[in-house]
């Protein structure tokens, strides 16, 4: 009798040679010529053989992004939590933009001063070389004098505003310097916060108490570094603003002096008879206007840069999707070194699983799969087949895109991928136990003129009950399906009438209906 216990358990393997199925059967020993083998027979079926397999996959979104803060500042507000659905551009968190607002005010002040400088230069030019400024009497007219006085008065008002802003910034600087001093008292260090870290390193970290003390002081160092760094940054900003305001005050004072000088020059210009000198002064005045216009352009650029900086203090969603992770809370210090949020686009989820080399060769890009999660099935298709063995698993990576409504699928969770690893159609199929092997040659016994005939065949895909014959048989052949001690090439065979009629009737019915067979497996059909 055939030894079915030696049958290979790798039902997913395509049999390419007889050596791969050496356990399917043993050639029966020769008997005497006068023996009669009592056997059962059947006709080969023509149909399909399908082998399915399940794989454990990890589900992740096709697209995930880290939202990284572009500014370092205290978190004032966090507007989302894990699981929230957000749209691209939606505000996720708001940071303290005090420093950025200060920079904006400085830029606006610089732009204001630049405009005043242009106004002053234009006024001086108009007083000396504008229409109607041809005689000393025209220059000294009430209207001209009034315009000159108005320009000077405006410059003086701007000077007062700038000096007020200067004093306000100096007061803010004092407050921040006091805050820094309080922090230094709070953390009890003399030179820098690095002393706290150095102190932490002195503890014996081989003991639990020492490690606790080390971690406690290390956390204290990190907190101190963040708080002190923020205050020191603010102090630097205020000092820079003071320098700018002081420069603005000096500029305004110079502009006032220029306005007065321009008026005096306009009065005396009529007394100058040398046309070359007059023309040179005119060119100088025109140059002053050009320089003032350049100053306005630079000031406008400063405002635009300050606006861009302000925008970095508002953290927005870079893509539409689901908030996977929130790494910020109010009063934390946001930095560009740590992602604030993780957003996943769940329009397409990807199932990743690993298979052996022989199974990998059965997959193709675009092949349909089914994903089962919590009793629910999702359609999908293979989008990537690994070309190299994964160093961790020793297997090949397969990726499949999961389609449909995937919002309920959580990132990083497990699911079952169901797929057809092998599938043949319109194949000649016989019972698995009907095949024998002589070395590497597979063969079956057919019935010809009442005798057993050894018929060599080529085999293909098989499962526990059936095997595909790729060469050597047709559906009209009659094969012996049972083993007998008397069975050999040329021996007479006897087929029980009831068995033969039953087998042939069932096989004929199967042959007639095989091409119309419907399969309703969970795996996606080809």
Bridge-partner residues for 372, per DSSP? 377, 416
CATH code at 56-62+344-421:
2.40.30.170
Residue 211: the pLDDT is: 65
Give mean pLDDT in consecutive 10-residue pieces for the chain, a chain of 526 residues. Answer: 35 33 43 73 85 84 86 89 87 87 82 80 72 49 60 74 79 77 65 61 66 67 74 78 78 75 56 54 76 81 82 86 88 87 84 85 84 89 90 90 80 85 80 90 94 92 82 92 91 77 47 38 33
Nearest partner of 41 among 461, 489, 505, judged by Cα: 505
Domain 4-51+423-516 has CATH 3.40.50.1980: no
Tell me: domain 98-309, CATH 1.10.3470, correct? no
pLDDT at 88: 87
Topology of domain 69-96+314-334 in CATH is OB fold (Dihydrolipoamide Acetyltransferase, E2P) (2.40.50)
pLDDT at res. 178: 79
Residue 91: per-residue pLDDT = 92
56-62+344-421 and 98-309 in the same fold: no
DSSP string, 351-415: EEEEE-HHHHTT--TT-EEEEEETTEEEEEEEEEEEEEE-TTTSSEEEEEEE-S--TTPPTT-EE
| Dihedral over alpha carbons 465, 470, 475, 478 (to 10 degrees) | -70
Which pLDDT does position 213 carry in this prediction? 65
Instruction: Report domain extents, the chain.
Output: 4-51+423-516, 56-62+344-421, 69-96+314-334, 98-309
Cα separation, 186 vs 231, whole angstroms: 14
Element spanning 293, H or E: helix 275-311
| Strand 396-402 to 333-334 pairing | unpaired
Q: How many CB atoms sit inside 10 A of residue 208's CB?
A: 8
């Amino acid at each position: 009798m055939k030894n079915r216990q030696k049958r290979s358990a790798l039902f997913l393997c395509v049999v390419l040679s007889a050596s791969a199925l050496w356990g399917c059967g043993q050639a029966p020993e020769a008997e005497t010529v006068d023996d009669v083998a009592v056997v059962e027979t059947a006709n080969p079926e023509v149909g399909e053989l399908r082998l399915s397999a399940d794989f454990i996959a990890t589900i992740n979104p096709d697209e995930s992004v880290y939202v990284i803060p572009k500014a370092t500042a205290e978190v004032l507000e966090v507007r989302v939590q894990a699981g929230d659905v957000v749209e691209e551009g939606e505000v996720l968190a708001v940071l303290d933009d005090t420093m950025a607002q200060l920079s904006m005010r400085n830029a606006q002040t610089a732009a204001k001063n630049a405009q005043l400088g242009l106004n002053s230069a234009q006024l001086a030019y108009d007083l000396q070389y504008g229409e109607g400024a041809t005689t000393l009497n025209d220059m000294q007219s009430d209207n001209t004098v009034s315009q000159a006085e108005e320009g000077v008065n405006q410059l003086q008002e701007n000077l007062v505003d700038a000096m007020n802003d200067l004093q306000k910034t100096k007061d803010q600087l004092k407050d921040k310097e006091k805050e820094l001093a309080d922090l230094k008292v709070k953390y009890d260090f003399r030179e820098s916060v690095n002393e706290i870290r150095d102190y932490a390193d002195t503890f014996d970290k081989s003991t639990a108490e020492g490690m606790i003390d080390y971690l406690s002081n290390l956390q204290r160092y990190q907190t101190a570094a963040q708080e002190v760094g923020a205050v020191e940054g603010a102090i630097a900003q205020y000092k820079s603003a003071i320098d700018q305001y002081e420069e603005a005050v000096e500029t305004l004072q110079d502009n006032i002096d220029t306005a007065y000088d321009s008026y005096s020059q306009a009065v005396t210009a009529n007394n100058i008879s040398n046309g070359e000198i007059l023309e040179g002064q005119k060119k100088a005045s025109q140059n002053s206007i050009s320089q003032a216009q350049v100053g306005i352009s630079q000031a406008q650029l400063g405002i635009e840069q300050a606006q861009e900086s302000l925008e970095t203090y508002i953290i927005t969603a870079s893509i539409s999707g689901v908030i996977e992770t929130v790494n910020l809370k109010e009063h934390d210090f946001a930095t560009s070194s740590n992602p604030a949020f993780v957003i996943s686009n769940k329009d397409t989820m990807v199932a990743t699983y690993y298979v052996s080399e022989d199974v990998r060769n059965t997959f193709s890009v675009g092949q349909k799969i089914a994903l089962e999660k919590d009793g629910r099935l999702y359609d999908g298709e293979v989008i990537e087949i690994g070309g190299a063995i994964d160093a961790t698993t020793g297997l090949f990576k397969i990726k499949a895109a999961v389609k449909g409504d995937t919002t309920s699928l959580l990132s990083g969770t497990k699911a079952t991928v169901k797929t057809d690893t092998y599938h043949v159609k319109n194949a000649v199929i016989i019972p698995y136990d009907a095949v024998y092997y002589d070395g590497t040659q597979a063969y079956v016994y057919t019935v010809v003129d009442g005798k057993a005939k050894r018929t060599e065949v080529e085999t293909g895909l098989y499962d526990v009950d059936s095997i595909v014959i790729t060469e050597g048989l047709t559906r009209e052949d009659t094969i012996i399906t049972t083993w007998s001690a008397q069975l050999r090439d040329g021996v007479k065979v006897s087929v029980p009438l009831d068995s033969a009629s039953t087998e042939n009737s069932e096989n004929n019915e199967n042959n007639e209906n095989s091409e119309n067979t419907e399969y309703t497996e969970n795996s996606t059909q080809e």
